Structure 1
């Protein structure tokens, strides 16, 4: 019997994000998941090495990689829709159903590992991934605005407020913003080739 999980997840590279919004640089869910994972890893390292916090880096990275897996079934739904009060609870249930379907696509002996990703993530792990998700959206919006795309201006302003509030609450976010984001938004990256 064939196990369809990775064939399904491979479709995330064909699942566009930001539907209904003009993008100068298109983005798919696989790209987004990659960058969320990178940012989540950075936040974990900052928490551990700068603030001496205990964090399970492997658990965070794994959840970050899989955090939008349900989009392979549901497609990508933009944040204002899935966060709207009239939809929020129903969408979470729908996402749970999709994740259960995904979990059933692996051999029985592997199911518990995937259940741990989709159903057993602790609040601290989910929080780090959620913050990384917002930072990635903020970076995307800033890039689009810097390229003159006014469709992202309101998105950027809203995300900047959220990110600044997170920076007040979470020292690791403030550290990330101060040490990594300034060069991210420069018009020209300066680095030396080997």
Structure 2
């Protein structure tokens, strides 16, 4: 019997984000997860090099890469719906857990323990998951910046909200990333490449 796990993971490219918003450019959860993994990895390295942490940056990137994989089963529920109230939030967490279990069951049994921490957070990874969540918010901010730069007024309020959310993250790694790397996201290609 063959395993469906990786074929299902591949379907991440079919799940669009920001479904309630009028987008100038589509973003799917595979693209988003790549961005989150790149940023989470960077946050871990920043923590290690600038703040004396001992994060496992590669594991952080791995957790980020799989952080939205359950959405191949659940779809991407818009944030205003997902977090509307505690009842919906709890129900969605249960749905995510069930989706994670279904995905893990698609793997041969000997590989399940290797992927389990991606779907059932291990307490020993708590600090890494904080970085992943921060990277997830930064990724959402980047999307809002891109849409705003294209003149898409649909994202005006979302941009302000995401800027405030990222600014409110109380992690020195995020403060460093904001100061050192975020300004470049507001630039055009010509501004990036001029010497």
TM-score range, shorter chain: over 0.9
Alignment gaps of 5+ in structure 1: none
TM-score by length of 2: 0.93
Tell me by how many angstroms 1:161 deviates: 0.8
1:91 aligns to what?
A: 92
1:12 aligns to what?
A: 12
How many residue pairs end up in the alignment?
190
Structure 1: how far apart are the matches of 2:134 and 2:5?
A: 26
Tell me by how many angstroms 1:119 deviates: 1.3
2:116 aligns to what?
A: 115
Cα distance per residue 1:148-170 (max 9 Å; x no partner)? 1011111111111111111xx21
Taking the TM superposition and a 5 Å limit, the aligned residue runs for 1:125-140 are 125-140=128-143
User: Post-superposition, which runs of at least 4 consecutive aligned residues in structure 1 deviate over 6 A?
Assistant: none
Cα distance per residue 1:109-165 (max 9 Å; x no partner)? 111111122114332121110000000000100110111101111111111111111
Taking the TM superposition and a 5 Å limit, the aligned residue runs for 1:31-180 are 31-85=31-85, 86-121=87-122, 122-166=125-169, 169-180=170-181
TM-score by length of 1: 0.94
Cα distance per residue 1:158-188 (max 9 Å; x no partner)? 111111111xx21111110111111121123
Structure 2: how far apart are the matches of 1:68 and 1:37?
A: 11
Alignment RMSD: 1.2
Report the 3-state secondary structure (helix = DSSP H, G, I; strand = E; otherwise coil) of the residue aligned with 1:148. Answer: coil
Structure 1: how far apart are the matches of 2:158 and 2:45?
A: 28
Report the 3-state secondary structure (helix = DSSP H, G, I; strand = E; otherwise coil) of the residue aligned with 1:156. Answer: helix
Structure 2: how far apart are the matches of 1:115 and 1:75?
A: 20
Tell me by how many angstroms 1:54 deviates: 1.5
